[in-house]
């Protein structure tokens, strides 16, 4: 292809997929867990087969004119796992490691997450393989709009409702809403959730996932007879979810002794000044912990943070941070999974054998999708709630859901992860039975 054919724009630079080790492939992890649960539930083979395969997968080319005038072609995905319980629901992530198997797994996790907290959605997930830290705001806007146009045939307020995920936010959702609204010639604010409040977003949505993690932690401690004021916490990942969880747990009386992000971590056994850390992060050009210093604070790596002697460990970064190599050395008594899939199956077995309680991701971090559901309901009704009502309803659903999972765990004598999956898969399977198979 010549320069003339491109109108002066050469260098079409596709992003390279970063392969994951098959041992730690999130999709195979998700399938193995589903297979285990299906056997325990004695699930009909046909329904089991349906749940092992997403209903629809879309891979799209996303060409973008970059600020230097050259064309860069990104790869985007939208996977719709199950619509048995309602419209598809799931986030959009921008990350260099996004690939089809990861998106498949995250879509399935969304199906189980929505079912375990009892909201009327199925699961979906999407993403673009890119490095947003190396892109300007204008480049991100152009990429988002083109990606949105490419997945428009399968999304919609009654079909599939995206939301923010890793490296996406309310601004990205605003671009998506505007793109769909312009192309459809009407306002369709319900097409995504996690929007700015001024565009039909819900109060409390930004904090919802982290708030759900904090509520799950509180419920776990109640059942273990431990007070928050006597609890030490370490949080790996100080993005939106981790920072909110750390802030709320600190406000609830827990002693947050360590936090980290991609720039590294900080540790103080006497407790960190979370308010000061938040001010530092807000002022940092890349919103990082990098450069933070205070008396008594020492630096730790992300790997070191996972091995600190604390009561509660909150992994809030990317998947598979806890694996067979470090699980034997984890000293935390309890783990509350704020990230999606932070623990490999091998590590899960090791933690269970060591008596470490794990609150699984599909329960612990479900606060975000719960308040996304509230936002969707508010958009459809054009009637909006105040933040107190949002938080009250979120608290009610999280507490109820935690109790339901805990009760299954006690009754069936299984870890919380298996209990959550048994509850969720059972609910989805029941919906399939009641609907029947079309045609």
**Catalytic residue list:** 125
Model confidence at 195: pLDDT above 50: yes
- 273's tokens: 């000044």
Single pTM value for the model? 0.91
Dihedral sign from CA coordinates of 17, 18, 23, 29:
negative
Model confidence at 11: pLDDT above 60: no
Per the CB < 8 A criterion, the answer to whether 122 and 87 are in contact is: yes
Model confidence at 2: pLDDT above 90: no
Give pLDDT, residue 9: 34
Q: Are strands 88-95 and 255-261 parallel, antiparallel or unpaired?
A: unpaired
Model confidence at 218: pLDDT above 50: yes
Give pLDDT, residue 24: 59
Domains by residue range for the chain, with CATH:
42-189 (3.40.50.10860), 206-364 (3.40.50.720)
Q: What average pLDDT does this structure show over 239-258?
A: 97
Q: Where are the beta strands (DSSP E) in 185-343?
A: 232-236, 255-261, 264-267, 298-300, 312-315, 334-336
Give pLDDT, residue 319: 86
Per the CB < 8 A criterion, the answer to whether 156 and 191 are in contact is: yes
Residue 318 binned pLDDT confidence (cut-offs 50, 70, 90): confident
DSSP-assigned letters across all residues of 400-417: HHHHHHHHHHHHHT--HH
The predicted-structure confidence for 145-185, as pLDDT tens digits, reads as follows 999 999 999 999 999 999 999 899 999 999 999 999 999 99
Exposure of 40 by Cβ count < 10 A (0-12 exposed, 13-18 middle, 19+ buried)?
Answer: middle
Q: What average pLDDT does this structure show over 182-190?
A: 97
Per the CB < 8 A criterion, the answer to whether 104 and 356 are in contact is: no
Model confidence at 88: pLDDT above 90: yes
Model confidence at 10: pLDDT above 60: no
Model confidence at 13: pLDDT above 70: no
Give pLDDT, residue 156: 97
CA end-to-end span of the chain: 48
Model confidence at 332: pLDDT above 60: yes
Average pLDDT, the chain: 93
Give pLDDT, residue 25: 82
Give pLDDT, residue 29: 87
Q: What average pLDDT does this structure show over 371-399?
A: 98
The predicted-structure confidence for 339-364, as pLDDT tens digits, reads as follows 988 999 999 999 999 999 999 999 99
Per the CB < 8 A criterion, the answer to whether 336 and 357 are in contact is: no
Residues constituting the chain: 439
């Amino acid at each position: 292809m010549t320069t003339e054919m491109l109108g002066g724009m050469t260098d079409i630079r596709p992003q390279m997929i970063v392969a994951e080790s098959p041992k730690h492939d999130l999709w195979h992890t998700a399938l193995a867990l589903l297979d285990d649960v299906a056997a325990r539930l004695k699930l009909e083979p046909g329904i089991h087969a349906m749940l092992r395969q997403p209903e629809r997968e879309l891979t799209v080319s996303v060409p973008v004119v970059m600020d230097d005038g050259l064309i860069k072609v990104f790869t985007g995905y939208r996977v719709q796992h199950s619509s048995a319980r309602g419209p598809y629901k799931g986030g959009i992530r921008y990350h260099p490691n996004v690939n089809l198997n990861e998106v498949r797994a995250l879509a399935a996790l969304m199906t189980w997450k929505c079912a375990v907290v009892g909201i009327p959605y199925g699961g979906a997930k999407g993403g673009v393989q890119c490095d947003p830290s190396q892109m300007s705001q204008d480049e991100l806007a152009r990429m988002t709009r083109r990606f949105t146009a490419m997945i428009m045939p399968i999304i919609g307020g009654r079909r599939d409702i995206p939301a923010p995920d890793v490296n996406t936010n309310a601004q990205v959702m605003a671009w998506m809403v505007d793109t769909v609204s312009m192309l459809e010639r009407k306002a369709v604010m319900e097409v995504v959730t996690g929007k700015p409040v001024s565009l039909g977003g819900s109060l409390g949505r930004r904090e919802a996932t982290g708030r759900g993690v904090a509520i799950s932690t509180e419920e776990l401690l109640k059942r273990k007879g431990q007070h928050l004021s006597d609890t030490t916490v370490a949080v790996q990942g100080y993005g939106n979810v981790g920072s909110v969880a750390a802030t709320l747990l600190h406000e609830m009386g827990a002693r947050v002794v360590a936090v980290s992000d991609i720039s590294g971590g900080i540790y103080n056994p006497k407790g960190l000044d979370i308010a000061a850390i938040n001010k530092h992060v807000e002022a940092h050009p890349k919103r990082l912990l990098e450069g933070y210093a205070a008396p008594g604070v020492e630096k730790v790596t992300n790997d070191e943070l996972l091995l600190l002697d604390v009561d509660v460990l909150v992994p809030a970064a990317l998947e598979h941070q806890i694996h067979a190599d470090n699980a034997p050395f984890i000293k935390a008594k309890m783990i509350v999974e704020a990230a999606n899939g932070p623990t490999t199956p091998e590590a899960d077995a090791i933690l269970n054998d060591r008596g470490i309680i794990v609150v699984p991701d599909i329960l612990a971090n479900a606060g975000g999708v719960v308040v996304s559901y509230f936002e969707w309901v508010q958009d459809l009704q054009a009637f909006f709630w105040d933040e107190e009502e949002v938080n009250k309803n979120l608290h009610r659903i999280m507490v109820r859901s935690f109790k339901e999972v805990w009760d299954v765990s006690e009754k069936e004598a299984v870890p919380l992860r298996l209990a959550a999956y048994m509850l969720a898969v059972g609910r989805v399977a029941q919906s399939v039975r009641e609907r029947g198979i079309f045609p």
